[in-house]
């Protein structure tokens, strides 16, 4: 009998062509090694599967600009919401999710994440990374 692999609780789509993004996700993967090995969290390079989130209307450029993820229920998370979901899953980082994801801070967290992501995206474009 074949053992069925459970669907990940979180599948994070990120851009390996961005050195900042790649380094951040590599660091996070090491912190989440047990969850990654158990298949609870999956990190995937959007450059290898550019149309992966097309059903949500998310283009390759959208995912290069901001982190995207899908949860176990199939819902799409974008930007700061992905960072918060990763922090919630990472031992010792739940306090970050609580601090930046609470209803009072979340609008500012999203705004700050989006501005940083815009700057990072523009920098990568200028460097010719895609």
CA gap 38, 10 in Å, rounded: 12
Give tens-digit pLDDT for 75-122: 999 999 999 999 999 989 999 999 999 999 999 999 999 999 999 999
> Domain for residue 60, yes or no?
yes
pLDDT, mean of residues 31-55: 93
Give tens-digit pLDDT for 86-95: 999 998 999 9
> Domain for residue 79, yes or no?
yes
| Domain total of the chain | 1
> Domain for residue 2, yes or no?
no
CA gap 67, 78 in Å, rounded: 6
pLDDT band at 7 (very low <50, low <70, confident <90, very high): confident
Of 5 and 121, more confident: 121
Within 10 Å of residue 58's Cβ, how many Cβ atoms?
19
> Domain for residue 3, yes or no?
no
H helices present in the chain, as ranges: 19-31, 33-37, 60-65, 80-89, 94-101, 106-126
> Domain for residue 53, yes or no?
yes
Q: Nearest to residue 67, comparing CAs of 127, 24, 125? A: 24
Whether residue 1 has pLDDT greater than 90: no
- CB of 11 closer than 8 Å to CB of 72: no
CA gap 12, 10 in Å, rounded: 6
Can you read off the two tokens belonging to residue 29?
Answer: 């993967």
Give tens-digit pLDDT for 9-29: 999 999 999 999 999 999 999
Note down the domain range covering 103.
8-125
> Domain for residue 70, yes or no?
yes
Q: Which residues contact 86 (CB under 8 A, 6 or more apart)?
A: 10, 12, 28, 32, 41, 69, 93
Q: What is the pLDDT at residue 27?
A: 93
Give tens-digit pLDDT for 35-45: 898 889 999 99
> Domain for residue 130, yes or no?
no
> Domain for residue 90, yes or no?
yes
pTM of the predicted protein model: 0.90
Q: What is the pLDDT at residue 4?
A: 63
């Amino acid at each position: 009998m074949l053992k069925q692999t459970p669907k990940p609780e979180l599948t994070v789509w990120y851009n390996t062509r961005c050195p900042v993004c790649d380094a951040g996700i590599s660091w996070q993967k090491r912190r989440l090694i047990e969850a990654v090995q158990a298949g609870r969290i999956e990190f995937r390079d959007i450059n290898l599967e550019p149309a992966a989130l097309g059903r949500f209307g998310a283009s390759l450029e959208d995912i290069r600009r901001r982190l995207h993820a899908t949860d176990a229920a199939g819902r799409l998370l974008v930007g700061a919401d992905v960072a918060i979901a990763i922090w919630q899953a990472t031992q010792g980082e739940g306090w970050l999710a609580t601090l930046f994801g609470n209803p009072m801070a979340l609008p500012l967290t999203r705004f700050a994440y989006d501005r940083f992501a815009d700057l990072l995206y523009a920098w990568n474009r200028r460097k010719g990374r895609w």
